[in-house]
């Protein structure tokens, strides 16, 4: 895959202030901004989801990045490209689904254009006021790695749902987990509204293991976590946070899954297995990278 | 074409505060936001432009909306989707072109994903501070319709350049006008920094006649303009402003092309011809609408 080479070229062209996290934190404006795109037959198939579900998921994956930053979802713009075969019902249902996924944000605009396949690109803006904004660079030795209790039980279900769809299965609960992901809104707010110290938080769009690895790597640290079902799943869109141990006294409904160690020669330890390089995680990657 | 039906469905779902202009003006944040998408073989052809020119134009059409709002270009995010055939050189050149078109803005992020064809969706943020933000609803009887002197001489060249490309012509000056549009930065700033009264301003992405018609319609007024070469061209990405007559004393390097009349039964008069309905303008529309 070429994505890392591509990213390195792009990073060369972008101000380094804004490289590293899934959102750009614009301190002068007090906002965070994130853009995420979904292409038909790469990120979704129209025969697997309804237009409503597509609208829901497209907005959800963007709001997920905003929640991972710790900011409050405020505004989104939707760029929607449609083949000539798309009808009014498709757009109506897509927007109904999009609206149902806003978590308090407002749709403020965007555009609609023709294209060969359905293509969706959404930009989300979150408000930083009254929140502490996360960065994946902020993990420190001794910090606790936590997820919400609800997320702990959900990890892996989205991947299992995708397998159902690929294999013609009919487990509706798993399929729903893939097509209509639930977000950790309260978990995000409970941390970012209250925490004083710098902390790291990421969504698990590419899997919990992916997020853990990237936080450890960006923080020049090593993370040691429990091994459990679903840690290698993807598209859960849940959150994982790395916070000072003291802060746990303020939290409820969470599960501590690990601890930050000082930097070792390996980046991540899951159970007893050590991971020295990203590729060893064996994660599926459909050539999609945030800048 | 179905685009008006589509737009009506989308408008039903979006807060009416944000409908009407190409940018959303977020007063609480002091910014304007605009998103514009370009799809391969709909908005551009890869055999007609270099990756550098594509990057330049994709950013330019977005900055054009920011300038039309009267705000100051600040930040952009770039969503880029590429087929597997795209190589590192493509991305490097695309970003070089994008950076050359920033007009003072910074690239702060975005994403890169796989797709069947090249697809670009850019979101631009402009700063409202110290500027008066335009709205196409603000034309009033007696107001003057003006363009920059430079724009007056350029209208129509982009369309002529597109024809060159379609017909295998070789007029490089016209082709450049289409692939590398010049923007009215100074014209925008000279108005929005100094004007006290409400005013209307639009870019001429879909043609000067299109912009004039939309301003008149949104303002419940009629606009009467000169007829001249290029008024029906498209993709000029120049500006047209509708300002109080008194304000002209502050302006230089402009051409007055018309006047706002009280609302008549026709919306637009170009020379001696009256236009009662949008379709009578006979403008090319490739199914692309801003929300």
Nearest to B14 among A13, A107, A117 (CB): A107
List chain A residues with CB under 8 Å of B289: 111-113
- B187: part of which helix (H) or strand (E)? helix B185-192
List chain B residues with CB under 8 Å of A91: 6, 9-10
Question: Span A50-78, mean pLDDT?
Answer: 97
CATH code for the domain defined by B23-127: 3.30.1330.10
A240-249, B6-15, B76-85, B229-238: the lowest-pLDDT one: B6-15
Answer yes or no: do B287 and A111 touch at CB < 8 A. Answer: no
Q: What is the CATH class of A14-127?
A: alpha beta
Supply the DSSP string of B46-97, one letter for each residue.
Answer: TTTS-HHHHHHHHHHHHHHHHHHHTPEEEEEEEEEEE-TT--HHHHHHHHHH
Q: How far is CA B41 from the centre of its chain?
A: 20
Q: Is A269 helix (H, G, I), strand (E, B) or coil?
A: strand
A161 vs B283 pLDDT, higher one: A161
Give the model confidence (pLDDT) of B157-188 as tens digits. 999 999 999 999 999 999 999 999 999 999 99
Answer yes or no: do A15 and B290 touch at CB < 8 A. Answer: no
Closest Cα in chain A to B126: A29
Nearest to B24 among A35, A38, A108 (CB): A108
Cβ atoms of residues A173 and A276 within 8 Å: no
Q: Which residue out of B4, B8, B10 would a mutagenesis test of the A interface target, given it has the greatest number of A Cβ atoms within 10 Å? A: B10
A114-118, A193-197, A239-243, B63-67: the lowest-pLDDT one: A114-118
Cβ atoms of residues A48 and A169 within 8 Å: no
Question: Span A40-45, mean pLDDT?
Answer: 90
Answer yes or no: do B116 and A39 touch at CB < 8 A. Answer: yes
Tell me whether residue B146 is exposed, middle or buried, using C-beta atoms within 10 angstroms of its C-beta: 0 to 12, 13 to 18, 19 or more.
buried
Residues 6+ apart with CB under 8 A from B124: B33, B34, B35, B36, B62, B63, B65, B66, B73, B75, B76, B105
Q: How many CB atoms lie within 10 A of CB A217?
A: 18
List chain A residues with CB under 8 Å of B123: 33, 35, 77, 123
Radius of gyration of chain B (CA): 19
Question: Span A187-206, mean pLDDT?
Answer: 96
Of residues A158, A95, A43, the one with CA closest to residue B9: A95
Report the gap between the CA of B256 and the closest CA in chain A (Å): 31
Q: How many CB atoms lie within 10 A of CB B77?
A: 26
Backbone φ and ψ for B259, nearest 5 degrees, come out as -140, 150
Distance CA A114, CA A86 (A): 10
Domain with CATH 3.90.650.10 in chain A: 136-281
Give the model confidence (pLDDT) of B118-132 as tens digits. 999 999 999 999 999
Q: Which two tokens stand for residue B70?
A: 């009267």
Answer yes or no: do A79 and B34 touch at CB < 8 A. Answer: no
The ipTM is: 0.91
Report the gap between the CA of A2 and the closest CA in chain B (Å): 8
Closest Cα in chain A to B37: A79
Q: What is the pLDDT of residue B16?
A: 62
Nearest to A95 among B10, B78, B110 (CB): B10
List chain B residues with CB under 8 Å of A12: 95
**If pLDDT is split at 50, 70 and 90, which confidence band does B50 have?**
very high
Radius of gyration of chain A (CA): 19
Q: How far is CA B171 from the centre of its chain?
A: 24
Domain with CATH 3.30.1330.10 in chain B: 23-127
**If pLDDT is split at 50, 70 and 90, which confidence band does A291 have?**
low
Answer yes or no: do A111 and B24 touch at CB < 8 A. Answer: no
Nearest to A39 among B6, B37, B119 (CB): B119
Cβ atoms of residues B48 and B68 within 8 Å: no
Q: What is the pLDDT of residue A2?
A: 57
Mean residue pLDDT of chain B comes to 92
Q: Which of A16-20, A35-39, A215-219 has the highest mean pLDDT?
A: A215-219
With a pLDDT cut of 70, the percent of chain B lying above it is: 94
Of residues B124, B142, B129, the one with CA closest to residue B34: B124
With a pLDDT cut of 90, the percent of chain B lying above it is: 81
What are the C-alpha distances in Å from A153 to residues A192, A225, A258, B41? 23, 16, 16, 45
Distance CA A69, CA A36 (A): 14
Backbone φ and ψ for B275, nearest 5 degrees, come out as -115, 120
> What's the pTM value of the predicted model, to 2 decimals?
0.93
CATH topology of domain A136-281: Phosphoribosyl-aminoimidazole Synthetase; Chain A, domain 2 (3.90.650)
Domain with CATH 3.30.1330.10 in chain A: 14-127
Report the gap between the CA of A17 and the closest CA in chain B (Å): 8
Backbone φ and ψ for A274, nearest 5 degrees, come out as -100, 140
Report the gap between the CA of B95 and the closest CA in chain A (Å): 7
Cβ atoms of residues B117 and B137 within 8 Å: no
* Beta bridge mates, B122: B36, B78
Answer yes or no: do A35 and B109 touch at CB < 8 A. Answer: yes
Report the gap between the CA of B248 and the closest CA in chain A (Å): 32
Tell me whether residue A150 is exposed, middle or buried, using C-beta atoms within 10 angstroms of its C-beta: 0 to 12, 13 to 18, 19 or more.
middle
DSSP state of A40: B
Give the model confidence (pLDDT) of A204-224 as tens digits. 999 999 999 999 999 999 999
Mean residue pLDDT of chain A comes to 92
Give the model confidence (pLDDT) of A149-179 as tens digits. 999 999 999 999 999 999 999 999 999 999 9
Report the gap between the CA of A156 and the closest CA in chain B (Å): 23
Beta pairing, strands A72-82 & A106-114: parallel
Q: What is the pLDDT of residue A290?
A: 61
Tell me whether residue B84 is exposed, middle or buried, using C-beta atoms within 10 angstroms of its C-beta: 0 to 12, 13 to 18, 19 or more.
exposed
Q: What is the pLDDT of residue A1?
A: 41
Nearest to A13 among B5, B9, B99 (CB): B99
Residues 6+ apart with CB under 8 A from B280: none
Give the model confidence (pLDDT) of B185-239 as tens digits. 999 999 999 999 999 999 999 999 999 999 999 999 999 999 998 999 888 999 9
C-alpha angle B97/B98/B100, rounded to 5°? 65
Report the gap between the CA of A27 and the closest CA in chain B (Å): 12
């Amino acid at each position: 895959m070429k994505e890392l080479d591509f990213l390195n070229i792009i990073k060369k062209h972008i101000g380094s202030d804004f490289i590293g996290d899934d959102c750009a934190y614009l301190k002068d404006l007090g906002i965070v901004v994130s853009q995420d795109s979904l292409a038909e037959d790469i990120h979704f198939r129209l025969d697997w989801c309804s237009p409503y579900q597509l609208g829901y998921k497209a907005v959800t994956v963007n709001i997920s990045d905003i929640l991972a930053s710790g900011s409050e979802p405020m505004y989104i713009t939707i760029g929607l490209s449609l083949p000539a075969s798309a009808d009014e019902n498709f757009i109506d249902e897509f927007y109904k689904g999009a609206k149902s996924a806003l978590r308090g944000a407002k749709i403020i605009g965007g555009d609609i254009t023709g294209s060969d396949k359905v293509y969706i690109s959404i930009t989300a803006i979150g408000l930083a006021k009254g929140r502490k904004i996360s960065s994946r660079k902020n993990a420190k030795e001794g910090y606790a790695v936590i997820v919400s209790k609800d997320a702990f039980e959900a990890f892996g279900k989205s991947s299992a749902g995708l397998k159902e769809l690929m294999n013609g299965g009919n487990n509706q609960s798993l399929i729903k987990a893939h097509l209509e992901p639930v977000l950790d809104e309260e978990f995000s707010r409970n941390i970012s509204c209250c925490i004083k110290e710098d902390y790291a938080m990421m969504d698990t769009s590419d899997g919990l293991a992916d997020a853990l690895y990237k936080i450890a790597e960006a923080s020049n640290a090593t993370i040691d976590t429990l091994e459990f079902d679903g840690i290698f799943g993807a598209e859960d869109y849940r959150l994982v946070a790395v916070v000072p141990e003291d802060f746990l006294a303020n939290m409820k409904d969470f599960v501590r899954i690990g601890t930050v160690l000082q930097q070792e020669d390996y980046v991540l330890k899951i159970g007893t297995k050590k991971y020295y390089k990203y590729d060893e995680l064996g994660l599926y990657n459909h050539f999609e990278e945030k800048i």
